[in-house]
Amino acid sequence: EVQLVQSGAEVKKPGESLKISCKGSGYNFIYYWIGWVRQMPGGDLDWMAVIYPGDSTTRYSPSFQGHVTISVDRSDSTAYLQWSSLKASDTAFYYCVRRTGVAASFHFDHWGQGTLVTVSS
Amino acid sequence: EIVMTQSPATLSASPGERATLSCRASQSITNNLAWYQQKPGQAPRLLIFGASSRATGIPVRFSGSGSGTEFTLTISSLQSEDFAVYYCLQYNNWLTWTFGQGTKVEIK
């Protein structure tokens, strides 16, 4: 069974750094793109970034480029999302997602349980 | 950037009724569209991909249709567990995705 298990909720202050994680299991981690989706308090979903664990190729949404960094540890089947300087507007749920390997259909087929990040002074 | 617009924002219906949700793309995305269901406190769950293919384990009362710019998710007979928020997702361009803003299906 494919599972994406994320790290727990975080409470941070503006300007602080943060790294959240997502551990994949039940499939060959290095062969599937894995990424992050933000869900704002109002419900809107936004794709942020993806990475291919096989060679660490990354792709960022223009909306998030330069503000977050995606990375992966192949030895531990874990993907990461990190911020160097959080803002209050980063308060949201963050979901880890796996892109399907089905030919010609590149949707997200599995989701992690979500990590709530709260940024408040 | 492809913009996805869902309608209505909220759909009020009774158990047993048919529900029809719409998703429109700002440009053609052929059939590169998925639908997700999200219940309170849970992650979204894949229902439909390729505009009309049901994901594993999804009941047959859920069906998807459309191509190009107009897409529909139909729930043939609403069950109590179907009251949730539904999102569409386009994946027409390489490594680029856009979600719709969601439709809430609530009990009438």
Record: contact B99-A50, CB cut-off 8 A: no
DSSP-based three-state secondary structure for B81: helix
Are the CB atoms for A14 and A121 separated by under 8 Å? yes
E strands in B42-91: 45-49, 53-54, 62-67, 70-75, 85-90
Name the β-bridge partners of B30: none
Confidence class of residue A42 from pLDDT cuts 50, 70 and 90? confident
Quick check: A14 and A88 in contact, CB under 8 A? yes
Q: Is the pLDDT of residue B104 over 90?
A: yes
Given a cut of 80, whether residue A93 has pLDDT beyond it is yes
Model confidence over B2-57: pLDDT tens digits? 999 999 999 999 999 999 999 999 999 999 999 999 999 999 999 999 999 999 99
Tell me the chain B residues in contact with residue A37 when contact means C-beta distances shorter than 8 Å.
99
Burial status of residue B87 (CB atoms within 10 A of its CB: 0-12, 13-18, 19 or more) = buried
Structure tokens at B26: 């700002």
Is the confidence at residue A102, as pLDDT, over 80?
A: no
pLDDT tier, B71 (very low <50, low <70, confident <90, very high otherwise) = very high
Please provide residue A88's backbone torsions phi and psi, each rounded to the nearest 5 degrees.
-60, -30
B95 interfacial to chain A (CB closer than 8 Å) = yes
Residue A105: pLDDT band with limits 50, 70, 90: confident
Q: Calculate how close chain B gets to A1, using CA atoms only, in Å.
A: 12
CB A43 within 8 A of CB A92: no
Question: What is the C-alpha to C-alpha distance for residues A64 and A79, in angstroms, rounded to an integer?
Answer: 17
Is the pLDDT reported for residue B68 higher than 90?
Answer: yes
For residue B94, what pLDDT band results from cuts at 50, 70 and 90?
A: confident
Best of B99, B101, B103 to disrupt the A interface (most A CBs within 10 Å) is B99
Band (B93; pLDDT cuts 50, 70, 90): confident
